[in-house]
Amino acid sequence: MNWDKEADVVVIGAGATGLPAAIQAREDGAPVIVIDANWDVGGHAILSGGNVPLGGGTSAQKKHGIVDSPDLLFSDLTDWSVVESNGFPDYRYNDREIIRAFADQSAPTYEWLVAHGVVFGDRSPDNRGAGATGNSALRENHVAPMDWPLMQTGKPAAPEMRTMGSSGVGLIRPLEAAARKAGVQILLQHRMTSLVRENPTAGRVLGISASNEGKTVSIRARKGVIIATGGHASNVNFRRMFDPRLTEEYCGVAGEPYTSQDASGEIAAMAIGASLWGLFNQTGEFGSGITKPNKVGTQYGYVNLTWLPSSPVFPRARAIGLPVRDWQDLILVNQAGVRFYDETKGQFTSNRYNGVSNYVPGSYLNAANIKYAPANFLNAALAGTGDGTNGGGPIWAIFDHEAVIREGWTVAPPHVDREAGFFFSGDTIAELARNIVNKYQRKPMPAAALEQTVAKYNSYVDAGKDPDFGKPGPQYKIQTPPFYAGWATPVPHDTRAGLRINAKCEVIDLNGNVIPGLYCGGESAGGFSQHGLARCTVQGRIAGKNAARAESER
């Protein structure tokens, strides 16, 4: 092998896992190269809400009188008895070895982040943004954006929000600065194409091949390669191994179009023998693995990310979207022009502090005492139209001119995406149906079906009751032209299954053996169901430390 570059540790991905891994390895004495496929660092993390659920006895918890410990954190995140209203368990299928390592390193990672320039808002840890963070203590911390420009706006946060707001930019930019200061070499627009191993499925991982501006670059890793590529939500074929319904129309993945979760790390590792792990956590219907959009008329309707024209990414995002204030102002129909559920309903829930009242760790009563509610908006949206195909198809928000006035919307670019086929209008309901032409709409929407749906719904407004789906007190008829249809298809988000790792973040093969020289953490790794940045930062540090300590490849 002719190597173009080499270092002790090579990290694939410059996000919430990759940057802590690189800094930790470099500070432990290893020369480090980080590559990232994008034109800037940060991955999904730089766009996130900056919610970091680190507990186990952090200085912030102690300051605000919150009692926590590594043992309590471990107990919370492995409690089989905590379930959601639909019966799905948050923690039952977490890997105990992985959670033990996380629990032990959670509080130290909080202090490590602070020492490396990350500023957390000076307030008590809380439940805001918390998902599967444990029932026994408040653990959600919020990263202050400070003066860093936000990727989604291109501008810094408002002055009053710079220290008390929360944004992933406040995590990524200080870590990028710390990595560069430590001497980490960061290579952008380098996409990993394969892992190089001594033999196809045996021996040590020696390095990687990557592409850069049409050229192949071979990078040797004397001690280890760390996969920090961020998961698989954008890879249609890969995500459908977990859920066959997630076909190509679920195209508005959270974090896109800045960065995609393409499963490249998982696929490259599987090609040399790596195993996947903890797959139930991906298919388990809890948390934000897939979400209801809160903006319509744009491809990218994720609730916590709004692209503005001042963003350098906006030419790819194309539209801001219309944020829905009141779901009474519209109806949602599938590609056949038919309603399928109560538009006001929410989505999957997940456990957090005090999510289970009268909580007793490991008690069957935790599950027995929940109010069981099996039905869910998302399952109804993904159910399809009975045409024999997988996937639910596009979901469209249907509304009229009066709804536009009530919501205060502007139904023109850059607020909606007409050009790419995510927003349509018509002077009649039939004309609107005929105008809906989108590459994911498998069959034209029948005009008669949409007319019938709207007429029936209008009669429910007159009656004050929705006998089909129980929408509480339908309030507004859809009767004043022009009429509109905005893209409102559910959004894939979290990745909670990936490569099998052990407590050292070493990747494990299909025979249960460590693949020498290969490490992984964050959303590319499996065995951990928690939402948020904590598992990324903690596992990045664990991977970096262990890779730096490994024996050099000879």
Q: Which domains does the chain have, with CATH numbers?
A: 5-284+493-549 (3.50.50.60), 293-345+396-487 (3.90.700.10)
Tell me how far apart the alpha carbons of residues 323 and 502 are, in angstroms, rounded to a whole number: 42
Closest C-alpha to 357, from 346, 365, 349: 365
User: Can you give 116-133 as a three-state secondary structure string?
Assistant: CCCCECCCCCECCCCCCC
Burial class (CB in 10 A: 0-12, 13-18, 19+), 360: exposed
How much is the pLDDT for 534?
98
Taking every pair of Cα atoms in the chain, the longest distance, rounded to a whole number of angstroms, is 79
How much is the pLDDT for 376?
86
Specify the DSSP class assigned to residue 545.
Answer: H
User: Can you give 172-215 as a three-state secondary structure string?
Assistant: HHHHHHHHHHHCCEEEECCEEEEEEEEECCEEEEEEEEEEECCE
CB-based contact 438:419 (threshold 8 Å): no
How much is the pLDDT for 247?
97
Closest C-alpha to 262, from 291, 286, 237, 284: 237
How much is the pLDDT for 554?
57
Token duo for residue 459: 């009669």
Q: By three-state DSSP, how is residue 337 classified?
A: coil
CA contacts within 13 A on the Cβ side of 449: 14
CB-based contact 253:492 (threshold 8 Å): yes
How much is the pLDDT for 388?
86
Tell me how far apart the alpha carbons of residues 298 and 554 are, in angstroms, rounded to a whole number: 52
Q: How far is CA 298 from CA 88, 353, 399, 405, in A?
A: 31, 34, 15, 19
How much is the pLDDT for 181?
98
Parts of the chain with a pLDDT under 50? none
Tell me how far apart the alpha carbons of residues 66 and 57 are, in angstroms, rounded to a whole number: 8
Q: How far is CA 98 from CA 56, 89, 198, 242, 530, in A?
A: 15, 18, 28, 21, 12
